[in-house]
Structure 1
Amino acid sequence: MDPDEDRYRAPALDKGLDILELLAEIDGGLTQAEIAKRLGRSPNEFYRMLDRLVRRGYVTRLEGDRYSLTLKLFGLAQLHLPVRRLVSYATPFMRELAEQTRQANQLAVFDRGSVVVVAQHEAPGYWGISIRVGSHIGLYDTGSGHVLLAFRSQEERLMMIDEYSASGEETKIEAEFFERLDQIRERGYEAMPSAQTAGVFNLSAPVLGPDGRAIAALTIPYIILVNASHAPDMAQTERMLTRTSRQLSKLAGADFELPK
């Protein structure tokens, strides 16, 4: 070992990072004893560190005294370069999508218990529904929220719901809601009447990362344009939306096709 590296070691920090890196590789979590065994240390060495990680929200304690990562690290990552890069890559595609569909569109991510709009493009004509960048929107009652949940594992869905509820948006979730999420995942997109604005349909599709999980949701708040000639209908708009989401997913590293 380099003498300088040994000189500036921070054992407590190393221990915490070892735990985070280990739990990041495990589905379903590990007990304190299992963590200690895998890291070659005594279980007592990790009690205080696990307690602090739980209190700071990086780790959660599951039934059976198992510890698992929360989505806090993912949320922190959303504030940094990846989201700015995603918005930069997405902008020309969102502009083209608006021109093709004659509708506005927006890009949203899940960030520390909230669904946040990180980019939006206005409709090219006089009429369109747009949401300000930085707006926080619903997880349960929006197409974006549904898509962000649908393309996640059940464990991650429950973590997202817990974090959202912790922000003051507590809602009872029925089994039918998770069935709907599975249907969205199978279909490849969400189409639902807006719960906020009459006459608007939320059409939403995921932007997937290399692991197949949604890193963002691309949404068109679709309105019927009565006097617009050659404006695509809702079915055509859905196809244009999913095609654009597939293009963005490939840029994000996804190497498979979404349902067409």
Structure 2
Amino acid sequence: MNYRLYGEMMSDEERYRAPALDKGLDILELLAGIDGGLTQTEIAQALNRSPNEFYRMLDRLQRRGYVRRIDGDRFALTLKLFGLAQMHTPIRRLVSYATPLMRELAARTRQANHLAVFDRGRVVVVGQQEAPGYWGISLRVGSHIDLFNTGSGHVLLAFSTPEQRDMMIAEYQSDSGEDPPGDLDERLARISSDGCEAMPSAQTLGVFNLSAPVLVSNGSAIAAVTIPYIPLVDTRDAPDMAECTRLVVEMCRALSEMAGTIVRAGSTAE
């Protein structure tokens, strides 16, 4: 056989095949459309393969955090792919839209504020605005903060679908080993009803977390904005905590109106 001629006749699809990669992508794409996960045997049947072909691939996907075991022997997608997508263009665009609003919020409240998203088991600060005066509590961009004991974490959980919430909690527990507080469901129901969270900081005495969600059209939060509020005794005209809460909710409503455009634009190639 003339192998050179054979190679030239091969389609690009055949010439550049990567069977292991294809197998992994097949699994991810299959699980993306399944609620409740699938067993290794069910995955093999759906993809017309032998179950033994998927043992190592599922093990690697699980170790890398793309899938997790549920109900003993079933595999389901985690939020890792969602988190990776969130940190790509849509998040950069979200931060660019949020920055002038966060700057205005800081000026009106005399307080610092930050923008956070959920990413692979942690709440991550992706945007931050310093207080305009001498005093303020701020978090560095890139900081990882608690899911169960922060205003941002509570808001992201409260404004998520039941499926998203279960996945977020499972990923956080896997990463931290921490169990959710016993009153978490009651607190999240209250936050969902109130539209915001106002709570004493679990990390810093004298600080209150004032948090509100950035929502998309289905009512889910893609981000949270939090003011780490500290009383300012040397500034007579500084807004009080109730007014700062109102202002952060107002700012998040404005950003939420942009969020649908941000998500849609981020889903198209640039």
TM bucket, shorter chain: 0.7 to 0.9
TM-score, L = length of structure 2: 0.82
The alpha-carbon distance between structure 1 residues 51 and 197, as it changes in their structure 2 partners (threshold 3 A), is closer
Contact 2:215–2:259 (Cα < 8 Å) also in 1: yes
1:126 equivalent to 2:134? Answer yes
- Computing the radius of gyration from Cα coordinates, the structure with the larger value is 2
The alpha-carbon distance between structure 1 residues 250 and 19, as it changes in their structure 2 partners (threshold 3 A), is farther
Q: Distance in 1 between matches of 2:261 and 2:32?
A: 20
TM-score, L = length of structure 1: 0.85
Q: Distance in 2 between matches of 1:31 and 1:211?
A: 30
Q: Distance in 1 between matches of 2:204 and 2:45?
A: 54
1:83 equivalent to 2:83? Answer no
Q: Quote how far apart the aligned CAs of 1:70 are.
A: 0.9
Secondary structure, aligned partner of 2:172: helix
Q: Distance in 2 between matches of 1:91 and 1:192?
A: 24
1:245 equivalent to 2:234? Answer no
Q: Quote how far apart the aligned CAs of 1:96 are.
A: 1.1
Report the counterpart of residue 258 of structure 1 in structure 2.
none
Contact 1:142–1:195 (Cα < 8 Å) also in 2: yes
Contact 1:107–1:218 (Cα < 8 Å) also in 2: yes
Report the counterpart of residue 7 of structure 2 in structure 1.
none
The alpha-carbon distance between structure 1 residues 50 and 210, as it changes in their structure 2 partners (threshold 3 A), is farther
Q: Distance in 2 between matches of 1:205 and 1:254?
A: 19
1:199 equivalent to 2:199? Answer no
What amino acid is aligned across from residue 256 of structure 2 in structure 1? S
- 1:114-163: per-residue Cα shift (whole Å, max 9, x none)? 22222111122232222222222222221112112222234433433343
1:160 equivalent to 2:199? Answer no
Identity of aligned residues (%): 69
Q: Quote how far apart the aligned CAs of 1:42 are.
A: 4.9
Q: Distance in 2 between matches of 1:234 and 1:210?
A: 29
Q: Quote how far apart the aligned CAs of 1:243 are.
A: 1.7
The alpha-carbon distance between structure 1 residues 21 and 209, as it changes in their structure 2 partners (threshold 3 A), is farther
Contact 1:209–1:254 (Cα < 8 Å) also in 2: no
- The residue correspondences of 1:1-260 to structure 2 (distance < 5 A) are 3-63=11-71, 65-167=73-175, 169-253=176-260
Instruction: Name structure 2 gaps, 5 residues minimum.
Output: 1-9, 263-270
- 1:29-70: per-residue Cα shift (whole Å, max 9, x none)? 223344344445554543443233223221111105221101
Contact 1:98–1:121 (Cα < 8 Å) also in 2: yes
Contact 1:36–1:43 (Cα < 8 Å) also in 2: yes
What amino acid is aligned across from residue 253 of structure 2 in structure 1? R
Secondary structure, aligned partner of 2:231: coil
Q: Distance in 2 between matches of 1:51 and 1:249?
A: 39
The alpha-carbon distance between structure 1 residues 125 and 210, as it changes in their structure 2 partners (threshold 3 A), is same
Of 101-110 and 203-212, the range deviating more from structure 2:
203-212
**Matched residue count:** 253
- 1:200-226: per-residue Cα shift (whole Å, max 9, x none)? 210011123454332221001112223
